Structure 1
Amino acid sequence: MRLAYTAILSFSLFATSLSALAGNSTIDATTDTVLIVGDSLSSAHRMPETAGWVALLDRRLVAHSAHAPAIVNASRGGKTLADALTELPSLLAEHRPDVVLLELGGNDAILGAKGPEIRRDLARLVDLSRGAGAKVAVLGFAIPPAFDKDGSADLLRDAYAAVADEKDVALLPSLLAGISDQPSLLQDDGIHPNADAQSRVLENAWPTLKPLLLK
């Protein structure tokens, strides 16, 4: 009788251990996903992808977390809000992100889009992301004076603020604060940050991103 009890107890302990291991395996395999939908400012424009601020963010998250979020960077040069509206549904369905970072609007404003149009499209992107269960942050861009066309800088700044207030999302007003006015940190086009500036871009973004990305 005692042998039977010992055998049952041993099996029970073995099963419990297996269950615990399975639970830990599930937790380990569950990786939060961050989707970045941006333009050339987030696509490592004219430099190796590994030198861009998004790659630097990935390395920082790995250093700060045993189970760092996976980053999907869906940024590309020239992307507009309309482009993102076309692409976002499939991106959300494919990657099921927990966090969506929207770094858009600069191209729209420079190309002459009006404030109501920018606010409408940006708000729709926020709604689509939230509808898929993701938290959202907007990473803004302050258009430098040399590229300010018919008040586009003020128009874009006001659009970001309006959407952030209306939708109650985290907003970084200027991803390139302290960079856009420093020629030594810019590429020869006078607008895109160079490789040396990428760590500063990350430092600008980090206070906004850390509460969303690290638990």
Structure 2
Amino acid sequence: MKSLHATLFALFTLVAIPLASSAHGVGAATPPTRTVLLVGDSLSSAHRTPAEAGWVNLLQQRVSAASTTAPKIINASRGGKTLTDALKELPGLIAAHHPRLVILELGANDAILGASRQQLETDMTRLIDMAQASGAKVAVLGFRIPPKLDKDHCADMLAGVYQRIQHDKQIVLLPSLMAGISDQPALLLDDGVHPGVDAQKLLLDNTWATLRPLLLN
């Protein structure tokens, strides 16, 4: 009987040890996924463009090709989104995704709809504070409002807000997401404002120098 017990113990040891080592190995080889949260409006939601052709999806592809530990980009953009909308949504998005970087592409809709400079600065500051309080870094993608939508000099006002926010909060800022695109009708949809399919790669190129250090660090 003693010999049988010894044999069974030996067999159990031979089986159990490799299993434990294997489980440890799998855990070590699968680090938690890092996430980046992009909260934007129609410029980042692939408006009237196939989602796979949108610049945010192209950004994910470029980052994934550049790094074996590339973060997952969560695109929480939609047409018409305002700062007020984002203030309601951001707490839940942060709780759900725990992003290490929050990219804000917002403000144009508010400015065009008549928001004051003070309101714009207050709301953008609140969004940035909320993201930073969670431990995330923050980047802002600005938008130069085109002349056809520039009511009461809201374009200059919004540009000033972006600059003030960058100075006060020390965040990364791309002044104009649509630089080199807004004044090229062939790159725009028939509304003369939103980027078409051919512009999506240019949007990616516009953002790359700004976002690359934050995404691949």
Under a length normalisation based on structure 1, what TM-score does the superposition of the two structures give?
Answer: 0.89
What does residue 115 of structure 2 align with? 113
What does residue 134 of structure 1 align with? 136
Displacement over 3 Å in runs of 4+: 13-20
Aligned to 1:143, which of 145, 154, 158? 145
What does residue 37 of structure 2 align with? 35
Deviations 1:51-72 (A, max 9, x none): 1000100110111011221111
What does residue 24 of structure 1 align with? 28
Secondary structure of 2:152's counterpart equals: coil
**1:60-71 equivalence runs, <5 A:** 60-71=62-73
Deviations 1:116-161 (A, max 9, x none): 1001100110000011111100000000111110010000000011
Aligned to 1:97, which of 96, 99, 114? 99
Amino acid at match of 1:196: D
User: Unaligned regions of 5+ residues in structure 2, if any?
Assistant: 1-13
What does residue 182 of structure 2 align with? 180
Distance apart, 1:29 and its partner CA: 3.1
How many residue pairs align between the two structures? 203
Tell me, in whole angstroms, the C-alpha distance in 2 between the residues paired with 1:186 and 1:19. Answer: 52
User: Are 2:165 and 1:163 equivalent residues in the alignment?
Assistant: yes
Identity %: 57
Q: Which structure has the larger Rg?
A: 2
User: Unaligned regions of 5+ residues in structure 1, if any?
Assistant: 1-9
Tell me, in whole angstroms, the C-alpha distance in 1 between the residues paired with 2:26 and 2:49. Answer: 42
Secondary structure of 1:143's counterpart equals: coil
Tell me, in whole angstroms, the C-alpha distance in 2 between the residues paired with 1:212 and 1:24. Answer: 25
What does residue 193 of structure 1 align with? 195
Deviations 1:48-98 (A, max 9, x none): 111100010011011101122111100000000000000000000011001
Tell me, in whole angstroms, the C-alpha distance in 1 between the residues paired with 2:204 and 2:129. Answer: 26
Tell me, in whole angstroms, the C-alpha distance in 2 between the residues paired with 1:206 and 1:175. Answer: 11
* RMSD, matched Cα: 1.8
Tell me, in whole angstroms, the C-alpha distance in 2 between the residues paired with 1:175 and 1:46. Answer: 18
User: Are 2:203 and 1:207 equivalent residues in the alignment?
Assistant: no
Secondary structure of 1:40's counterpart equals: coil
Distance apart, 1:24 and its partner CA: 2.7
Amino acid at match of 1:24: A
Secondary structure of 2:36's counterpart equals: strand
Secondary structure of 1:171's counterpart equals: strand
Amino acid at match of 1:102: L
